Amino acid sequence: MAERKATVKRDTLETQISVEVNIDGTGQVNFATGIPFLEHMLDQIARHGLIDITVTAEGDTHIDDHHTVEDVGITLGQAFQQALGDKKGIRRYGHAYVPLDEALSRVVVDFSGRPGLEMFVDFARARVGDFDVDLSYEFFQGFVNHAGVTLHIDNLRGHNAHHQIETIFKAFGRAVRMAVEMDPRMAGVMPSTKGTL
């Protein structure tokens, strides 16, 4: 099997982002984004998805964290798209339920080639430390648009915003791990009746 790795750089007037991924990794991480809570969440994706992720980012955080968080999502999505190639042999679909104390989230993903995000979360508060909870939506929107995935996120319960977001990112990592796993019964086969994803 070819190595499923990618390195993507994104430079704009607002941010300079570099992302490296190894889909078949062990959950190793290296982050330098200037946004500690984002790094905590990226760590959840890596650890629970068994994906090695390196992210360096410089952005206009003197304004706010919006552009940096969104652009990290975009660049990570591009890296996944590149690393997965034609997607032959992958399971394609993944899902996970993850609890954390009182919070419970469900994430379902389809590496369909069709971007779509349905995210239903009633956050208990607007910020977790300095992190605006709305930016979690912007991260996932950037990811789905550039990875070409359909993603459904539901926080089923929770009254601690940190727990709500963390269950979402953990479940996302688990669902992605399932979806990108190679299916030995589908070796070399496109998991689509259309013949392309």
Q: What is the pLDDT of residue 9?
A: 98
Q: How confident is the model at residue 2 (pLDDT cuts 50, 70, 90)?
A: confident
**Among 79, 66, 64, residue whose Cα is nearest residue 25:** 79
pLDDT at residue 191, rounded to an integer? 94
Distance between CA atoms of residues 192 and 31, nearest Å: 35
Mean pLDDT score across all residues of the chain: 97
Which burial class, exposed, middle or buried, applies to 129 when counting CB atoms under 10 A from its CB (0-12, 13-18, 19+)?
exposed
Q: Is the pLDDT of residue 1 over 80?
A: no
Percent of the chain whose predicted confidence (pLDDT) is above 90: 98
Mind listing the pLDDT tens digit for each residue in 159-180?
Answer: 999 999 999 999 999 999 999 9
Interval 57-69: pLDDT, tens: 999 999 999 999 9
Domains of the chain in sequence order = 5-186 (3.30.230.40)
| pLDDT at position 76 over 80 | yes
Mean pLDDT across the stretch 80-108?
Answer: 98
What's this model's pTM, rounded to 2 decimal places?
0.97
pLDDT in tens, 25-48: 999 999 999 999 999 999 999 999
Instruction: Please compute the mean of the pLDDT values over residues 182-190 and round it to a whole number.
Output: 93
- The pLDDT value recorded for residue 31 is 98
Strand partners, 56: 18, 32
Distance between CA atoms of residues 180 and 80, nearest Å: 10
In this predicted structure, the answer to whether residue 137 has a pLDDT above a threshold of 80 is yes
Q: What's the average model confidence in pLDDT over 191-197?
A: 91
Please compute the mean of the pLDDT values over residues 66-85 and round it to a whole number: 98
Helix and strand element counts for the chain (H, E): 4, 10
